Amino acid sequence: MDLGLNGKSVIVTGGGSNIGRAITLGFAAEGANVTMAELDVDQGGRVAEEASGLGGGQVRCLRTDVTELAEVEQLVAAAVEDHGQVDVLVNNVGWDQLMFFTQTTPEFWERVIRINYLGVLNCTRAVLDGMNAQGHGAIVSISSDASRQGEPREAVYGGVKAAINSFMKTIAKENGRSGVRCNVVCPGVTVPEEDEEVGENSMWVDKDNMFTPEQFEKIAKSLPLRKVGRPRDIANAVLFLASDAVAGHVTGQVLSVSGGYSMIG
């Protein structure tokens, strides 16, 4: 099926590692022009090089701290200069460390909020005027099933991701009249298949500190589909929601891609 993404101008934040890497490669394979925002430009550069040979589109990695609005505005300006406009924004950047709430500090809270939420606000604000003016656009934000269920050791992260769900629904309502669609994808546990799929800033850089092999096995057995997620699973959902051809009448939705973990109606 043709998703109609060939030649589209796409921004992917955190496009060099794990889920972001799979999203970048997915759009590149569809022939989209991808502008990646990354702090780890070495990892991002490797992914950009890999992606450039997939579908004929241009893939570029720019060092960008999404918590700084001025840097995000420069990123968007670069995408517009290269490709004329921004058709799709994927708010993918995220970070956490698994700890019980009583083990966390205000400094940790602030870091989680800035990376996971302020980054979404900055990037969304930076593209909306252009999308409204051109009369179309798709924004897909990566949240988490921790936002829907509540998950031990993810209290702050889950709360922030829940804020993203609500924020995106509001943005969908405010901007739908201009043809701008806004949706959310909620991954469950999503594990990179190879170590080289993650950069040095990734929360998965030492996955043994996230979960033990026994815990991964237990998680998989607890899910209806009996398997943990892989980055390509999330990327496929993002491509669907970004496509006007197949999801042109879908907006304001929060889609769990978690092997059946949440099953919220």
Quickly count: other Cβ atoms within 10 Å of residue 223's Cβ.
Answer: 16
Q: Tell me if residue 25 falls in helix, strand or coil.
A: helix
Q: What is the pLDDT of residues 39-86, one digit of tens each?
A: 999 999 999 999 998 988 999 999 999 999 999 999 999 999 999 999
Percentage with pLDDT > 90 across the chain: 78
Q: What is the predicted pLDDT for the residue at 190? A: 82
Residue with tokens 């995106």: 168
Question: Would the pTM of this model clear 0.85, i.e. be above it?
Answer: yes
Q: Tell me if residue 199 falls in helix, strand or coil.
A: coil
Alpha carbon distance 82, 63 (integer Å): 16
Active site (catalytic) residues: 157
Nearest to residue 143, comparing CAs of 28, 258, 25?
Answer: 258
Largest distance between two CA atoms of the chain: 51
Q: Stretch 201-209: mean pLDDT, rounded?
A: 57
Alpha carbon distance 145, 255 (integer Å): 9
Confidence band, pLDDT 50/70/90 cuts, at residue 199: low
Relative orientation angle of helices 106-113 and 155-175, to the nearest 10 degrees: 30
Q: Which of 86-90, 191-195, 233-237 has the lowest mean pLDDT?
A: 191-195
Instruction: Please name the residues in contact with 199: beta carbons below 8 A apart, sequence gap of 6 or more.
Output: 16, 17, 38, 40, 42, 43, 44, 205
Q: What is the predicted pLDDT for the residue at 192? A: 78
Is 82 within 8 Å of 76 (Cβ atoms)? Answer: no
Q: What is the pLDDT of residues 217-240, one digit of tens each?
A: 887 888 888 888 899 999 999 999
Confidence band, pLDDT 50/70/90 cuts, at residue 208: low
Give the chain's domains with CATH numbers: 9-257 (3.40.50.720)
Burial (0-12, 13-18, 19+ Cβ within 10 Å), 40: buried
